[in-house]
């Protein structure tokens, strides 16, 4: 089958090739324009937008239920430079990865928000109910305690539990119905 072409800002582009072993949960919507490579499991009712990137380079990526991965969000389980085996990158439930966020974390809990242009490095463990603010970078070797909020150019931190479940759930329900009308999707397995 020939690669489908789409138009972005007047330019002709090829649909990305998705290569690997994918397990897609019931009710999940994964657009074919997303870039998926490697061993990836996506839980039920998770939405992966066009141009989102999920790479399982060094090991599997396991994404839980009701996650929302927006356009140009990047999730990578990187190869280690020293050749050490890499553990699976496990992402919990009800997380929101906003536009241009980048997550290379060792693991991600549940109910977290990754705001636009934030970067979470590969030696970071994100617990539950955390918010990584716009353009904030967390690259040190650390575990973010549950409820950590990082914001501002100086990366200020405080602890406050944020519940995104109800708002995110309503948006996911809408997108599950809407996206298949305008994009090709990868079928659940």
Position 189 in a domain: no
Q: How does pLDDT run across 85-115, given as a tens digit for each residue? A: 789 999 999 999 999 999 999 999 999 999 9
Segment 131-174, tens digit of pLDDT: 999 999 998 899 999 999 999 877 777 777 666 655 666 777 76
In a domain, 185, yes or no: no
pLDDT at residue 7, rounded to an integer: 38
Residue 186 within any structural domain of the chain: no
- The yes-or-no verdict on residue 56 having pLDDT over 70 is yes
Question: Is 2 part of a structural domain of the chain?
Answer: no
Q: Which residue has the higher pLDDT, 13 or 62?
A: 62
Residue 4 placed within a domain: no
Tell me which of 14-18, 43-47, 96-100, 122-126 is least confident.
14-18
Which of 89 and 180 is assigned the larger pLDDT?
A: 89
Residue 96 lies in a domain: yes
Bridge pairing between strands 156-159 and 124-126:
unpaired
How many domains, in total, are found in the chain?
A: 1
pLDDT at 33 (0 to 100): 94
Please tell me which residue, 16 or 121, carries the higher pLDDT value: 121
What pLDDT does 171 receive?
72
List, for residues 17-40, the tens digit of each pLDDT value. 677 889 999 999 999 999 999 999
- pLDDT band with cut points at 50, 70 and 90 for residue 69: very high
145 in any annotated domain: yes
Residue 94, domain member (yes or no): yes
Domain hosting 146: range is: 10-180
d(CA 9, CA 101): 22
CATH assignment at residue 161: 2.160.10.10
């Amino acid at each position: 089958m020939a690669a489908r072409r789409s138009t972005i800002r007047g330019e002709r582009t090829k649909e990305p090739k998705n290569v690997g072993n994918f397990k897609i949960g019931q009710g999940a919507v994964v657009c074919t324009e997303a870039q998926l490579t490697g061993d990836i499991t996506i839980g039920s009712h998770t939405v992966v937008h066009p141009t989102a990137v999920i790479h399982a380079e060094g090991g599997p990526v396991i994404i839980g239920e009701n996650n929302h991965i927006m356009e140009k969000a990047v999730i990578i389980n990187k190869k280690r430079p020293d050749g050490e085996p890499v553990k699976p990158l496990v992402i919990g439930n009800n997380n929101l990865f906003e536009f241009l966020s980048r997550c290379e974390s060792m693991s991600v809990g549940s109910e977290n928000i990754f705001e636009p242009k934030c970067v979470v490095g590969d030696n970071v463990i994100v617990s539950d109910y955390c918010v990584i603010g716009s353009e904030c970078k967390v690259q040190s070797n650390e575990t973010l305690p549950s409820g950590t909020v990082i914001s501002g150019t100086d990366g200020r931190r405080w602890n406050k539990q944020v519940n995104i479940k109800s708002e995110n759930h309503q948006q996911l329900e809408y997108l599950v119905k809407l996206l298949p009308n305008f994009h090709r999707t990868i079928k659940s397995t």
